[in-house]
Amino acid sequence: MSLLALGMMVAVAQSAQIEAAPTPPVGSSPFFQRSVREVAELLEAGDFSGASKRALAMPRHEFTIKIDTKQLSRINQVIAKRALDSAIANWKAAIPELKITEGEKPSVLISFVKELEQTHVGDPKTLVIFESPDASEPTIEAVVSTVRTDQKVEIEAPVYENEISYAIGAFLGLERQPKPGSVMFRIDGLGGSMPKIDMLSSELAKSNIGIVNQLTSAAKNKKKLAAHFPSFFIDQDQINFHTVVQGENQQFQIQIVNRGKAPLRFAIRPDCSCFVLNYEPVVAPESSTLVSVFMSTTDFQGPQDKGLFIYTNDPERPTTRLGVVGNITPAYRLITGTKDDTVMFGENGAKLTYYLFMPESVAIKPLRATISGVTGITSITPWEGTLADPLWNEPAKPRKGYKIDVLLSPGTVQGRILTALLIQTDSKTFPVLGANFYVQRGIAVSPQTIYFGDVKGGIARAWALINGPGRDFKILDIKSSESYITAKAEKLKSGEYKLSVELDAKPGTGTVIASLLIKTDDPDSPQIVVPVQGYVP
183 & 268 share domain: no
pLDDT of residue 11: 45
- Please name the helix (run of DSSP H) or strand (run of DSSP E) that holds residue 466, with its range, or none: strand 459-467
Half-sphere exposure in the Cβ direction for 219 (13 Å, CA):
23
Strands 140-145 and 108-113: parallel
Residue 3 lies in a domain: no
List Cβ neighbours of 405 (8 Å cut-off, separation of 6 or more): 351, 353, 378, 379, 381
430 & 342 share domain: yes
Taking only the tens place, the pLDDT of each residue in 314-347 is 999 999 999 999 999 999 999 886 666 788 887 7
Lowest mean pLDDT among 248-257, 276-285, 344-353: 344-353
429 & 450 share domain: no
Number of domains in the chain: 4
Residue 41 lies in a domain: yes
Lowest mean pLDDT among 272-281, 301-310, 465-474: 465-474
218 & 176 share domain: yes
The domain that contains 503 carries what CATH number?
2.60.40.10
pLDDT of residue 524: 82
Comparing CA positions, the residue from 229, 228, 215 lying closest to residue 50 is 215
**In 172-259, which ranges are continuous DSSP H helix?**
199-220
- Please name the helix (run of DSSP H) or strand (run of DSSP E) that holds residue 516, with its range, or none: strand 510-520
220 & 172 share domain: yes
Residue 163 lies in a domain: yes
301 & 393 share domain: no
Residue 241 lies in a domain: yes
pLDDT of residue 349: 83
The parent domain of residue 293 ranges over: 232-329
491 & 532 share domain: yes
- In degrees rounded to 5, what are phi and psi of residue 285? -55, 140
- Rounded distance between C-alpha atoms, residue 501 and residue 486, angstroms: 6
pLDDT of residue 121: 57
The domain that contains 101 carries what CATH number?
3.40.390.10
338 & 426 share domain: yes
183 & 282 share domain: no
User: What one-letter code names the amino acid at 383?
Assistant: W
Residue 12 lies in a domain: no
252 & 359 share domain: no
Residue 7 lies in a domain: no
Residue where one domain finishes, among candidates 228, 251, 278? 228
404 & 469 share domain: no
pLDDT of residue 362: 87
What does pTM read for this prediction?
0.87
Residue 39 lies in a domain: yes
Taking only the tens place, the pLDDT of each residue in 4-39 is 444 444 444 444 578 999 999 999 999 999 999 999
Residue where one domain finishes, among candidates 425, 440, 455? 440
80 & 202 share domain: yes
Residue where one domain finishes, among candidates 418, 440, 462? 440
Residue 253 lies in a domain: yes
- Rounded distance between C-alpha atoms, residue 210 and residue 213, angstroms: 5
